Amino acid sequence: MRLIDEITDVREANLVIANFDINGFRHLSSALSASELFDFMSRYRDVLTEGVNKANGFVVRFLADIAITVFEDNDVDDTFSSLMALKEELDTFTKSKGFDNTVKLSLNVGTVAIGYMGKDPNRYIDIHGKALNFGPFDIRCERLAVTRRAVTSDAAVKNTKGDEEGKLDPAKVFITSNMLDKVSTSLKDKYKGLFSEAYTL
């Protein structure tokens, strides 16, 4: 990712942000020994990192099964297509290991501050900003606490109708209206069955 190579100090940048996490990870992890889980996550992260690198992105951080990744926004359609393919590859990986768990993909595009934190030898790249505050957890908090105004698609209404806890279909892709606006009509039509939510921050 060109931006990462150019960073010498903190700067603001408009980036595509893609978060990945495994649905039902607590149940999955409880079914494995510590060593088995370590091996599973090592292989899972290898697949994810390779896919992100191929799409000219950067893995900002891993936290258990969660991965926060970023991409430059100069070709959103190409990035979006690559991410959809990567989600499918990760779903296939989990199934190949004997699990039915799918991988949740949450997408946004917006301005973040990106730069180095910490001191040598533990210096690392990190990102911060409002654009990171999205995803199923934020939607659930929004519905329960009424802290944000949600804009749901017809598909999302169908998927969540009658669910007072605001649970969303874990097999779907969660996408903000900011990101959806930048995706071409042809790609929207191709993947519209997978969109679980489109909402404003």
The tens digit of pLDDT for each residue in 87-116 reads 999 999 999 999 999 999 999 999 999 999
Does pLDDT of 172 surpass 80? no
Structural domains in the chain, sorted by start:
2-199 (3.30.70.1230)
Mean pLDDT over the full length of the chain = 82
Res 164: pLDDT: 35
Distances in Å between the Cα of 46 and the Cα atoms of 10, 49, 52, 53, 146 are 28, 5, 10, 10, 38
Residue among 82, 26, 24 at smallest CA distance from 56? 82
Helix axes 76-96, 34-54, angle to 10 degrees: 160
Does pLDDT of 72 surpass 50? yes
Res 113: pLDDT: 97
Q: Give dist(CA 108, CA 189) in Å, integer.
A: 18
Mean pLDDT of 141-158: 40
Mean pLDDT of 24-46: 96
Confidence of residue 194 (pLDDT cuts 50, 70, 90): confident
Distances in Å between the Cα of 44 and the Cα atoms of 7, 61, 109 are 28, 14, 25
Which residue's structure tokens are 């990744």?
69
b/e burial code for range 15-47 (CB count within 10 A of at least 16 → b): bbbbbbbbbebeebbeeeeeeebeebbeebeee
Mean pLDDT of 186-198: 78
Region of 179 (left: φ > 0; alpha: ψ -120 to 50; beta: rest) is: alpha
